[in-house]
Amino acid sequence: MIQIIIFSILLISIMGTFITELIIGMLWILKIRKKAPLNNIILKLKRNTVILGSLFILILILIIFSYFSANTPRIVDKNGNPLPKSIAELRKVQLNGRQEWISIRGENKNNPILLFLAGGPGGTQMAAVRHNLQKLEKNFVVVNWDQPGSGKSYYAANVKNLNVNTYVQDGYALTKYLCKTFKKDKIYLVGESWGSALGIFLSEKHPENYYSFIGTGQMVDFSNTEELDYEKAIKIAQIKNNTNKIAKLRSNGHPPYYGADVTWKSAEYLNYLSSYMQKDPGIYNSHFNTWRDISSSEYDLVDKINFLWGLINTFNHIYPQLYNIDLRKDYAKLKIPVYFFIGRRDINAPLSLIEDYYNVLHAPHKEIIWFEHSGHSPWLNESDKFVNQLNKTLIDK
């Protein structure tokens, strides 16, 4: 938080000084034309140039400091002392030649590994999971992965070179890294929204590496989902007589979208549906605390900027690649147990598609656990129940 405030002050100061430089420069030109004395103008230009250079240096120092000071908080007891077997690290790992970041947190580093796959594509939930699912750290070593093109891993690869298979390959490489590092044969896999589809891809391709998969905010058919979400948004707007929203949605046209405006056109109805769920009194804790998450210590100043860039640029590039994927047809057979933690009031990932997928899915065990007071994010809306149910599902069986 302090770093953001200082950075903002310095940035405003630079803008102010730069504008002053422009004004002085214009006065200089006027005086040249009038053949007036320039000594005072030159002195002011030199002074402001020094100030501008100093501010740039201070910003550079702040960026470097924020990079080296980024951390995930220690896991401590009631007296503030680190738990002896705990682990709390940010770690840069090389996955298929790409430098990517993970956070590793657990009260006992010998506990089972749980890999959390964030939504997006392009989203980072490294801080959000720590804040909302901290109780998971009691029974698991919770690993959060900033995927290529998101958060701390935004520069792991050129966004334009990313494809769906990149995430499958790197997810598998990370799985192997975790198994080797922590001396485990297998790990648990949890995926939310886009991460729920990625989790299915990994489970189908490499079942030998996972005990089971838990999908929440489960995506099934991306193209059909966009069509249904678009129609749902128009229907809600009609009920609310929101003519401006209806006009905007219709001017964008019917999804799926392609090209440079995928993110913005999709956001027009996705954000509208999210706003609707946030106002639903039946959904608990319905707001993402984005400011808290961006301000968290896991992210340096550049990461904080890329927190947003990933959701814009990476989403825009990757999401159209998902339109031809339908889990009901392409991933109907899995060799590991599958659990769906689903919000009963989710209008982002249509429940009808999830139930369709459940009905055609063949797996050693499959189960839908309903969260009656949740929307698209049960791990956020009913976090305590999410943790308890996950412990019950994975540990107590």
Q: Which of 325, 332, 331, 329 lies closest to 361, judged by CA?
A: 332
pLDDT digits (tens, 9 = 90+) for 131-176: 999 999 999 999 999 999 999 999 999 999 999 999 999 999 999 9
Q: What is the DSSP letter of 159?
A: G
Q: Which two structure tokens, joined as six digits, stand for 141? A: 């070593």
Mean pLDDT in residue range 181-195: 98
Mean pLDDT in residue range 47-58: 68
User: Quick one: pLDDT band at residue 59, thresholds 50, 70, 90?
Assistant: confident
pLDDT digits (tens, 9 = 90+) for 300-319: 989 999 999 999 999 999 99
Q: What is the DSSP letter of 210?
A: E
User: Quick one: pLDDT band at residue 61, thresholds 50, 70, 90?
Assistant: confident
Q: Which of 258, 230, 228, 223 lies closest to 330, judged by CA?
A: 223
| Dihedral sign (CA 124, 280, 271, 321) | positive
| Dihedral sign (CA 33, 35, 40, 42) | positive
CA distance 347 to 361: 22
- E strands, the chain, in order: 87-95, 98-106, 113-117, 141-146, 187-192, 210-216, 338-343, 366-371
Question: In the predicted model, is pLDDT for residue 6 greater than 80?
Answer: no
What's the gap between Cα 299 and its chain centre?
Answer: 12
Q: Which of 72, 69, 67 lies closest to 105, judged by CA?
A: 72
Determine contact, residues 272/236, Cβ cutoff 8 Å.
yes
pLDDT digits (tens, 9 = 90+) for 263-301: 999 999 999 999 999 999 999 987 788 889 998 999 998
CA dihedral (347, 348, 353, 358) in degrees, to 10, reads -100
Q: What is the DSSP letter of 340?
A: E
Instruction: Supply the pLDDT for residue 310.
Output: 95
Quote the pTM value.
0.89
Mean pLDDT in residue range 179-201: 98
Instruction: Supply the pLDDT for residue 369.
Output: 98
Instruction: Supply the pLDDT for residue 10.
Output: 47
Q: Which residues contact 21 (CB under 8 A, 6 or more apart)?
A: 45, 48, 49, 52
Determine contact, residues 142/171, Cβ cutoff 8 Å.
no
DSSP lists the bridge partners of residue 370 as 342
Mean pLDDT in residue range 242-262: 95
pLDDT digits (tens, 9 = 90+) for 21-50: 555 555 545 455 455 454 565 666 566 666
| Biggest distance spanned by C-alpha atoms of the chain | 89
Mean pLDDT in residue range 331-354: 97
Mean pLDDT taken over the chain? 89
